[in-house]
Amino acid sequence: MSWEPKIIAFLCNWCSYAGADLAGVSRLRYPPSIRVVRVPCSSRVSPAMILDALKSGADGVLVSGCHPGDCHYLTGNLYARRRFYLLKKLLEFVGLDPERVQFAWVSASEGDVFAKVVTEVTDRIKALGPNTKFRKVLRVEGKS
């Protein structure tokens, strides 16, 4: 059996979650790699949540929100965009595989886009292999 990555997907309630729903009702195929966490807005997702997902064993993280201009809260996604830009640059800087953390805009009508994004993200993380760098492993033996 081939290894399937585990990807935590933080989807905004108003667009991307509905987009994922549409992909489902449209019977679009995409890899069963994501575990969805519904959030009120992409700007609800803090860097600590993304890193905590990786630490707890996720192989990748996808954060998806409304397109600019479509945010239910008008500008939440625009604040989020700045934050994610900086986070991505910081993770790249310390050599954490940048492909493991991905950001997307998916609207409620873009079921096809959602399926393609998940497929693409899954392929890229598959190419990287399991997350070993940032996964917490319990050690029982004490460090002298």
Report how far residue 115's alpha carbon sits from residue 125's, in angstroms, rounded to the nearest whole number. 15
Name residue, tokens 């890193």: 51
Q: Which of 104, 111, 125, 127 lies at the binding interface for another protein (CB under 8 A)?
A: 104
Nearest distance in Å: CB 102, another protein: 5
Measured from the CB atom, the residue of 32 and 142 that comes closer to another protein is 142
Antiparallel, parallel or unpaired: β 7-12 and 101-105: unpaired
Residue 80 φ/ψ, nearest 5 degrees:
-60, -40
Nearest to residue 110, comparing CAs of 8, 46, 30, 7? Answer: 30
Report how far residue 54's alpha carbon sits from residue 47's, in angstroms, rounded to the nearest whole number. 11
Instruction: Identify which range of 3-11, 20-28, 30-38, 112-120 contacts another protein by CB under 8 A.
Output: 112-120
Does the footprint of another protein cover residue 103 (CB under 8 A)? yes
Instruction: Identify which range of 5-13, 28-36, 74-82 contacts another protein by CB under 8 A.
Output: 74-82
* Interface residue list for another protein (CB under 8 A): 47-48, 51-52, 55-57, 62, 68, 75, 78-79, 81-98, 102-106, 112-113, 116-117, 120-121, 133-144
